[in-house]
Amino acid sequence: MKKESKIIAQMFDQIAFRYDMLNHLLSFGLDKKWREITVKEMNLKSKERVLDLATGTGDLAFLASKISPDSFIVGVDISTEMLKIAKKKIRKQNRSLSFQILASDALSLAFKDNSFDKVMIAFGIRNIGYIKGSFREFYRVLKPKGLLTILEFSLPFYSWIRYPYHIYMSYILPFFGGIISRNREAYSYFSQSVNSFYKPYEIENLIKRSGLVIIKSKPLHLGICHLYISVKK
């Protein structure tokens, strides 16, 4: 599956106005739970520098800033429309947040080596065209002993759920996602990209090959999602 940054950015630009609503609706609210588990597992500490890659509308970064208000968080994405929504949400908060937004490709980050204590990415890695290159960047910007946390969809491991899941992902989700976002292609892309994405053991191998050490790799909700936490030694 070809994933050019420019085309992916255009697709997210087009669905940005409905992205949050459809996320919560089509995952039956589970997306919030998955992000909560992710941020909890990251064990954020005071005054840490945190990079949220493929931040989109910023939901993961907002959660992180809630749990660790004095951390400095940077959210990076290639879709300017997704970032506009994140910025609107920042303005709506009635407390000051140390959450900054930057339009940038995860494959060529404008940050110095060893500049973040934590790097996180939720539902973003699947959309990045050159995954090995992205791991190289994640490793580069992480400080020694820094944590990389990846949350991504995977396929359910029990056979009894695979068939209904396939029907939901291949027909029901693209249908409703298409009507509500007025972009059926984007929601068909979503299903196809989940189906054709690396399996958890393959992601683990990529993480290890990038020089990071895995400290946690666990399926969430019957394997629909997977959380990977690794450390830069």
Ligand X SMILES: C[S@@+](CC[C@H](N)C(=O)[O-])C[C@H]1O[C@@H](n2cnc3c(N)ncnc32)[C@H](O)[C@@H]1O
- For ligand X, give the closer residue by CB, 55 or 154: 55
- What whole-number distance in Å separates Cα of residue 204 and Cα of residue 200? 6
- For ligand X, give the closer residue by CB, 84 or 166: 84
Q: Check residue 187 and report its DSSP letter.
A: H
Check binding of 12 to ligand X (CB under 6 A): yes
CB under 8 A, 24+ apart: contacts of 91-97 = 95/69, 97/62, 97/65, 97/69, 97/73
Selected range binding ligand X among 7-15, 84-92, 179-187, 195-203, rule: CB under 6 A: 7-15
Answer for which of 54, 63, 119, 150 binds ligand X (CB under 6 A) is 54
Shortest gap between Cβ of 83 and ligand X (angstroms)? Answer: 8
Shortest gap between Cβ of 82 and ligand X (angstroms)? Answer: 4
Alpha-carbon torsion, ordered 142, 144, 147, 148, to 10 deg:
40
Tell me how far apart the 2 most distant CA atoms of the chain are, in Å: 47
- What whole-number distance in Å separates Cα of residue 123 and Cα of residue 77? 12
Answer for which of 123, 135, 138, 189 binds ligand X (CB under 6 A) is 123
**In the complex, which residues of this chain contact ligand X (CB under 6 A)?**
5, 8-9, 12, 54-56, 59-60, 76-79, 82, 105-107, 122-124, 127-128
